[in-house]
């Protein structure tokens, strides 16, 4: 460990209370203006810092890690996902990786339900008419959507966020079903009155709403591929607030355009900001700019976790949220 205060480089602007606290504790270099670092800028930062604080917009692969300086010992990621970091390569170079798990759970679950409502109740279509000044008054058959109560909700990935979605879904009268790598304990299933499906194919074919709440890993890439998307009922809706790579976006677009899927609510996309332009043309699709965790409270809590990880590391201990390769 270097003597004195740690040199910390932050790759994006963070909420002001977080940056203020970092300046009090560390020799911190903040990002101004708030733009993504280029690959060269990231490489330079990794050569001069003891600790790098990246976000999910920073792709830290084996090539970048190979360029890191000898002083870099911790990558304290600001966010829960770590699929943008080659954790195994970092570990082999003696660089620890930490994240901020659990913070975004409630906010992301809120947004998942918001997207379900937005798609099934056609909220964006009504908003567009009102903003254009085209509303002609109430009519019995205008903007008819469907109620959530009584529908079957299939949750793909029943971790923290999936369970938070299930808790909210029960309040709306949805029937909760789920597919997970491991079946939940009976008492947890009982809390949500949830039905476990060992077969993802069978669950997908029977659900009215499918919520994607699993992380992006090699085994979940395109888990919802063209074949599985075709299993969905033509009246079904799919919502994704997890990772865009879990769904084959081109196949989803084809299914929506062909009327094989009734609608979609998406907060994440397979190719980041490069959203399939054909998705924007569809009235039955609600698109959000990755804002599932965008609450001030949540972002400050994320920053506090980053600070705790760095401070614990500086004190010679294992960061409480250290990511271990093979356990993602």
Kindly report, residue by residue over 189-203, the tens digit of the pLDDT: 999 999 999 999 999
Whether 98 and 111 share a structural domain: no
Domain that holds residue 300: 7-103+295-314
Does 240 share its domain with 112?
Answer: yes
- Considering its fold, how many domains does the chain have in total? 2
> Are 178 and 70 found together in one domain?
no
Q: Kindly report the length of the chain.
A: 328
Asked whether residue 118 falls in the same domain as residue 38, the answer is: no
Tell me, yes or no, whether 240 lies in a domain.
yes
**15 plus 72 within the same structural domain:** yes
Instruction: Read off the pTM.
Output: 0.89
Q: What are phi and psi of 27, to 5 degrees?
A: -85, 85
- Burial track 48-82 (b if 16+ CB lie within 10 A, e otherwise): ebbbbbbbbebbbeeebbeebeeebbbbbbbbbbb
User: Is 307 found in the same domain as 165?
Assistant: no
Model confidence pLDDT, tens digit, residues 49-69: 999 999 998 999 999 999 998
| 121 belongs to a structural domain | yes
Q: Is the pLDDT of residue 222 over 70?
A: yes
On whether both 122 and 70 belong to a single domain, the answer is: no
pLDDT at 325 over 90: no
Indicate if 97 and 200 belong to the same structural domain. Answer: no
Q: DSSP letter at 116?
A: H
Q: How confident is the model at residue 326 (pLDDT cuts 50, 70, 90)?
A: low
Q: How confident is the model at residue 3 (pLDDT cuts 50, 70, 90)?
A: low
Same domain for 181 and 88 = no
The CATH number covering residue 89 comes to 3.40.50.720
């Amino acid at each position: 460990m270097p003597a004195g205060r740690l040199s910390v480089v932050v790759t994006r602007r963070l909420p002001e209370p977080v940056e203020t606290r970092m300046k009090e504790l560390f020799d911190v270099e903040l990002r101004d203006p708030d733009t993504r670092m280029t690959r060269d800028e990231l490489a330079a930062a990794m050569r001069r810092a003891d600790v790098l604080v990246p976000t999910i917009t920073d792709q830290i692969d084996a090539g970048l890690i190979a360029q890191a300086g000898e002083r870099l010992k911790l990558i304290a990621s600001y966010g829960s996902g770590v699929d943008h970091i080659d954790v195994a390569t970092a570990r082999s170079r003696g660089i620890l990786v930490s994240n901020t798990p659990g913070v975004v759970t409630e906010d992301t679950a809120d947004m998942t339900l918001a997207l379900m409502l937005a798609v099934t109740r056609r909220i964006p279509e009504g908003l567009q008419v009102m903003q254009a000044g085209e509303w002609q008054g109430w009519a019995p058959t205008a903007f008819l959507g469907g109620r959530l109560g009584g529908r079957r909700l299939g949750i793909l990935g029943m971790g923290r966020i999936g369970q938070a979605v299930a808790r909210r879904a029960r309040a709306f009268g949805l029937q909760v079903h789920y597919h997970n790598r491991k079946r939940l304990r009976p008492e947890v299933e009982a809390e949500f009155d949830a039905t476990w499906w060992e077969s993802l194919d069978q669950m997908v074919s029977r659900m009215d709403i499918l919520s994607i709440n699993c992380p992006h890993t090699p085994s979940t890439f395109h888990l919802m591929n063209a074949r599985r998307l075709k299993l969905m009922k033509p009246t079904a809706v799919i919502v994704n607030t997890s990772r865009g790579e879990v769904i084959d976006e081109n196949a989803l677009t084809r299914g929506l355009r062909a009327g094989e899927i009734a609608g979609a609510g998406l907060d994440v996309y397979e190719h980041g900001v490069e959203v399939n332009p054909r998705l924007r043309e569809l009235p039955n699709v609600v698109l959000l700019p990755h804002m599932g965790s965008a609450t001030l409270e949540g972002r400050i809590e994320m920053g506090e976790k980053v600070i705790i990880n760095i401070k614990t590391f500086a004190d010679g201990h294992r960061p409480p949220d250290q990511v271990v390769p093979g356990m993602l």
